[in-house]
Structure 1
Amino acid sequence: MTLIIREAVPADIAAIHGFILALADYEKLAHEVKADRATLEKYLFGPRPMAEVLIAEREEGPIGFALFFHNFSTFEGRPGLYLEDLFVVPEARGSGAGKALLRRLAQIALDRDCARLEWWVLDWNAPSIAFYRSIGARPMDEWTVQRVDGDALRALAA
């Protein structure tokens, strides 16, 4: 079966939302999902898109996605791509869809003169970590992620 990697269009919102819910369930974080179709449509396809999505598709329809956006490295003086989410449905894992999505992201990064492509992975997700190592990704163990959200974000902004 032919695998196609394509840019998402507004008609893909239901599939994108479904992939986000499935990923959250896999990561045991379904209780944290606040995104709905209307919000996704606004921020992915509205007047000022905040992120982009690639769809992995076979004849039967979408089987995975990658949601990404630009960041910027002050040290490099160049943009980068940040991969927020990569997900392939369980029945299509091992088919090359995940690697094809990452390959397309690497091509986009190079086409846009990005210095790097980066993402996070949960510590317990051994299959994904092994996959990422197999394509040459390396951990950034010396860095610790920091986050301000919810009430703390509102308090900081006040």
Structure 2
Amino acid sequence: MSLAPVAPKVSVRPFERCDVTEVLSLMRELAVYERYIDQFRVTESDIIENGLSAFPHFGVFVAEMDGDIIGIAVHYEVPWTYDLKPVLVLKELFVSKHARALGAGRALLNQIEKHALEINASRTVWTILKDNDAAKQFYVKAGGQKDAVWELWGIEHSKK
């Protein structure tokens, strides 16, 4: 009798102080993937000060498998405006290359969806690089869709 291999179990939880080094490592890995590593300035101190303070500016869910952090979902809230409900912004969802296709991305997105319901968010929004077809396919499969009304615009602020 042959037994099928057991798929590793992915668990998701909010990050803690002991996770900061691994979270930063995944943020750097994402910066390389998205081609902005030369502009990346985040430090462990920044993550602690802005993500783990009494009044954090962002949160991070981490995906773990066999005790290792393999993915992150960085998020923040935009306070309510016209509908009296916040918008949840998924700033970064990233799974390390070696752990893709194991369910970590979907588990992180499920946690984001759960969090959005807990805070009574009207919607969750995110951006995708124009050439990241794999991400587009992932989000479409999960029920995401391109916004039919809004375009992303911005102004660059550079300091000399």
Alignment of 1:1-158 (within 5 A): 1-151=8-158
One-letter code of the match for 1:54?
F
Counting aligned pairs with the same residue, the percent is 25
Q: CA deviation at 1:107?
A: 0.7
Please report the TM-score for the alignment, with normalisation by the length of structure 1: 0.90
One-letter code of the match for 1:57?
E
Q: How many residues are aligned here?
A: 153
Q: Deviations over 1:24-63 (max 9, x none)?
A: 1011111120111111111011232100000000114100
Please report the TM-score for the alignment, with normalisation by the length of structure 2: 0.89
In structure 2, distance between residues paired with 1:144 and 1:32: 24
Unmatched runs of 5 consecutive residues or more in structure 2: 1-7
In structure 1, distance between residues paired with 2:43 and 2:157: 18
In structure 1, distance between residues paired with 2:87 and 2:79: 6
Q: Deviations over 1:101-124 (max 9, x none)?
A: 000110111121111111000010
In structure 2, distance between residues paired with 1:137 and 1:151: 33
What CA RMSD, in Å, does the superposition of the two structures yield over aligned residues? 1.7
